Amino acid sequence: MALDLKDMADFLQQTPPFDQLDEQRLDYALDHAEAMYVNTHNSQDVLRPGHPQLFVVRSGTYDLLDKHGKPIERLETGDIFGFPALLTGREITNRLDVLADGILYCWDAATFGYLRRYSEAFERYFMQAQTQRLLTEQRSDNQAPDWSERDIGSVIQRDLIAIPSDTSIQDAAICMSDNKVSSLLVVDGDQLRGILTDRDIRTRVVAKGMSYEVAVTAVMTSMPEAVYARQSLFDALTVMNQANIHHLPVLDDDDKPIGMLTTTDLMKQQRSEPVFLMNALFKAVDRDALVAEAKNIPQYLRTFATRVKDIGMVGRLLASLTDGMTRKLIRLYEQEHGAAPVAYAWMAFGSQAREDQTLSSDQDNGLLLHDNIKASQRDYFQGLAEYVCQGLADCGVRLCPGDVMAMNPKWNKTSLEWREQFKKWVQSPTPDAIMHSMIFFDSRMIAGNAQLYRQHREQVAKIAQRDIFMANMARHIGELNVPLGLFNRLRTKSEKGGDFIDIKTQGVAIVNDIVRLYAIGEGLTMPATPARLAALKNSKLLTVKDNQNLLEAWQFLTQLRLSHQLRMKGDSTQPVNSVDPEKLSTLERRQLKAAFSIIKDSQQGVGFKLGRGL
């Protein structure tokens, strides 16, 4: 296939590690390059045993598969493959699956050896890439996963113990005693109806003098939280912490109950794990004890991050810990001041709501109050808000610089007041109104009345589905600055004596904004970006490929940001949300450029699909 040398030169000068070659070595690479058009009919000719080559994707999309057909890597424009066989001499066993036809540039072993020999940067790039690949393979082959990544089904050790809904309380207690368990699932046929615990019997039956002949439906918890056997133990831990429960029904993929998971089961897995830290926070006897336990969180998270494959789990764990501290502070306040005078919901906004919290995240929270509240009763909630917000600050979750907190009356309203406020934001979408509405849309209930919160959230979702409001949000998103200039060059800004890129503001936050807007268009109410993308897979607003690209860009940027913060170890001389691109590996810089390119394309897509209402 004939080569367009000018086009190829322009392309390679933007593609690591060829962008590090001097003029002489680049000319050598151009003179010795070949190009091949690849489709499903000739893909088997690319990776041929005994003929190792270096490949760079010029166009098209491919999956690199191992000898068992398991995906290794998705390959798109600028991606490089084939070098492990050149470096190690190992037999070529991988194959290529063509998703979209395209062109590959390729070089033989002699050319690859020459470029390595005469370019230190070229050599270093492939040494680092090979080391990373070997470490990944070694972990995959030899290292057992962290306990929290195990699937729930693997730790269910006893058969399902369940009773039908017409079972009497006395018979249920006998069943518990005979089987030496502290909880039972209530199941009719294959359908989960509820859960009954020994605590339910003590507090709802014995303490109130209820007849033991009454059916368990009178005292059980209906429609309990549940998890699937294929989910991870970390997922179970998160649900238990967020719902403040100790028993969790486990279902198969057909929603059929198959067992029960308890906090005791989790404790047996590893005695130095998150459940113990959460348990210590839960058992704190007063505010001082809670603050003392919270001081252990940063170091614990750094240790936890070294043991998990997905560092994004750290953000979820930190959000769960913040949830737990919030609930504990609320309970401590209630112990001193009595129960709340009316129904309410404590809401988390922003990163805590999305469960992508970092060590630098500040507080974003608010209160939702019942419409029947009296003026004299507001003092209770103002006191609650100040107690909890100041308590979280003492625990290390700093106060919000923008004052988006429940102790600010602007973020402490009744359901009706919140709806009126949101209508104003929708009808008059000033920059501040758009910013506040986006904060408000990433919300999650931490404590309080679930029905009050659910109704409120559904009402707000309907208010937002107005073309003019969504168009203004789309325009706002389109105006956000992505640090990618001409010729795919990263653009930095001066900060703290260096040149940095703000990963949070110029990357993660924009992806959150884009996905949030699509979620609003579909009437979705979940706050987490990955969950929103999962729910948007069948949306007409977002193609499957664009959906996957946004998820991968978000995952890369959040992990890059969190990894940077964990390495800082409290060093205040560096910006917490920004990275110096010169200190990234060549591979990381290339991935960073790819992520920003996805964001820029997505900005244009949002404007085209939702910005035309202006």
* Cis preceding-peptide flag for 17 (omega within 30 of 0): yes
pLDDT of residue 136: 47
Give the DSSP H or E segment for 281.
Answer: helix 274-283
What does the block give as tokens for 189?
A: 């046929």
pLDDT of residue 512: 95
Query: What is the domain-level CATH number for residue 236?
Result: 3.10.580.10
What does the block give as tokens for 515?
A: 């996905």
Q: CA-CA distance, 8 to 205, in Å (whole number)?
A: 78
Q: In what order do the strands lie in the sheet with 412-414?
A: 412-414, 365-369, 344-349, 443-448
Q: 103: burial class by Cβ within 10 Å (0-12, 13-18, 19+)?
A: middle
* Total domain count, the chain: 4
Give percent of the chain with pLDDT exceeding 70.
Answer: 92
What does the block give as tokens for 64?
A: 């690199």
Q: CA-CA distance, 445 to 453, in Å (whole number)?
A: 7
Q: How confident is the model at residue 43 (pLDDT cuts 50, 70, 90)?
A: very high
Count helices and strands in the chain by DSSP H and E runs = 24, 21
Domain boundary among 142, 160, 175: 142
Q: What is the pTM of this model?
A: 0.63
Residue 399 near residue 440 (C-beta atoms within 8 A): no
Residue 417 near residue 409 (C-beta atoms within 8 A): no
pLDDT of residue 272: 46
Which of 383, 373, 375 lies closest to 332 in space, CA to CA? 383
Query: What is the domain-level CATH number for residue 375?
Result: 3.30.460.10
Give the DSSP H or E segment for 249.
Answer: strand 247-251
Task: Compute the residue count for the chain.
Answer: 614
Clarify whether residues 310 and 405 are in a common domain.
yes
pLDDT of residue 144: 45
Give the amino acid at 203: T
Residue 26 near residue 9 (C-beta atoms within 8 A): yes
Tokens 């359908």, located at residue? 191
Q: Is residue 585 part of a domain?
A: yes
Q: Is residue 267 part of a domain?
A: no
Residue 415: pLDDT above 50?
Answer: yes
Report the chain's terminal Cα–Cα distance, integer Å: 48
Q: How confident is the model at residue 56 (pLDDT cuts 50, 70, 90)?
A: very high
Give the amino acid at 130: Q
Clarify whether residues 220 and 93 are in a common domain.
no
Q: CA-CA distance, 504 to 509, in Å (whole number)?
A: 6
Q: How confident is the model at residue 90 (pLDDT cuts 50, 70, 90)?
A: confident
pLDDT of residue 273: 54
Q: CA-CA distance, 385 to 367, in Å (whole number)?
A: 8
Residue 95 near residue 44 (C-beta atoms within 8 A): yes
Q: CA-CA distance, 81 to 107, in Å (whole number)?
A: 11
What does the block give as tokens for 149?
A: 């990544």
Domain boundary among 443, 460, 477: 460
Q: Is residue 320 part of a domain?
A: yes
Clarify whether residues 291 and 388 are in a common domain.
yes
pLDDT of residue 71: 80
Q: How confident is the model at residue 406 (pLDDT cuts 50, 70, 90)?
A: very high
Q: Is residue 430 part of a domain?
A: yes
Q: Is residue 582 part of a domain?
A: yes
Which of 46, 14, 12, 7 lies closest to 29 in space, CA to CA? 12
**Residue 246 domain boundaries:** 149-262
Q: Is residue 99 part of a domain?
A: yes
Range of lowest pLDDT (138-142, 267-271, 418-422, 503-507): 138-142
pLDDT per position as a tens digit, 307-332:
666 677 888 888 989 999 999 999 99
Clarify whether residues 236 and 302 are in a common domain.
no
pLDDT of residue 270: 52
Which of 373, 368, 374, 350 lies closest to 360 in space, CA to CA? 350
Domain boundary among 112, 142, 172: 142
Residue 588, C-beta contacts closer than 8 angstroms, at least 6 positions apart = 560
Summary mean pLDDT of the chain: 87
Q: CA-CA distance, 472 to 596, in Å (whole number)?
A: 22
Residue 261 near residue 227 (C-beta atoms within 8 A): yes
For residue 20, the tally of other CB atoms under 10 A from its CB is: 17
Give the DSSP H or E segment for 333.
Answer: helix 312-337
Residue 280: pLDDT above 50?
Answer: yes
Residue 375: pLDDT above 60?
Answer: yes
Antiparallel, parallel or unpaired: β 102-107 and 34-38: antiparallel
Residue 187: pLDDT above 90?
Answer: yes
Clarify whether residues 204 and 327 are in a common domain.
no
Antiparallel, parallel or unpaired: β 247-251 and 227-228: parallel
pLDDT of residue 316: 86
Clarify whether residues 456 and 469 are in a common domain.
no
Tokens 């790819």, located at residue? 594
Give the DSSP H or E segment for 221.
Answer: strand 221-222
pLDDT per position as a tens digit, 196-231:
999 899 999 999 999 999 999 999 999 899 999 988
Give the amino acid at 585: S
pLDDT per position as a tens digit, 129-144:
664 554 444 444 444 4
pLDDT, mean of residues 323-347? 94
Q: Sign of the CA dihedral 567, 573, 575, 579?
A: negative
Residue 131, C-beta contacts closer than 8 angstroms, at least 6 positions apart = none
What does the block give as tokens for 155?
A: 């730790």
Q: Is residue 101 part of a domain?
A: yes
pLDDT per position as a tens digit, 539-570:
888 999 999 999 999 999 998 998 888 877 66
Clarify whether residues 342 and 391 are in a common domain.
yes
Clarify whether residues 99 and 218 are in a common domain.
no
Clarify whether residues 156 and 246 are in a common domain.
yes
pLDDT per position as a tens digit, 173-186:
999 999 988 899 99
Which of 407, 403, 339 lies closest to 377 in space, CA to CA? 339
Give percent of the chain with pLDDT exceeding 90.
Answer: 52
Clarify whether residues 108 and 239 are in a common domain.
no
Which of 84, 42, 92 lies closest to 62 in space, CA to CA? 42
Clarify whether residues 121 and 95 are in a common domain.
yes
Query: What is the domain-level CATH number for residue 501?
Result: 1.20.120
What does the block give as tokens for 410?
A: 């602007």
Q: How confident is the model at residue 303 (pLDDT cuts 50, 70, 90)?
A: confident
Residue 476 near residue 606 (C-beta atoms within 8 A): no
pLDDT, mean of residues 26-43? 93
Clarify whether residues 603 and 482 are in a common domain.
yes
Which of 512, 422, 435, 523 lies closest to 472 in space, CA to CA? 435
Query: What is the domain-level CATH number for residue 48?
Result: 2.60.120.10
Give the amino acid at 40: T
Q: CA-CA distance, 460 to 465, in Å (whole number)?
A: 9
pLDDT, mean of residues 66-90? 85
Q: Is residue 510 part of a domain?
A: yes
Residue 586 near residue 125 (C-beta atoms within 8 A): yes
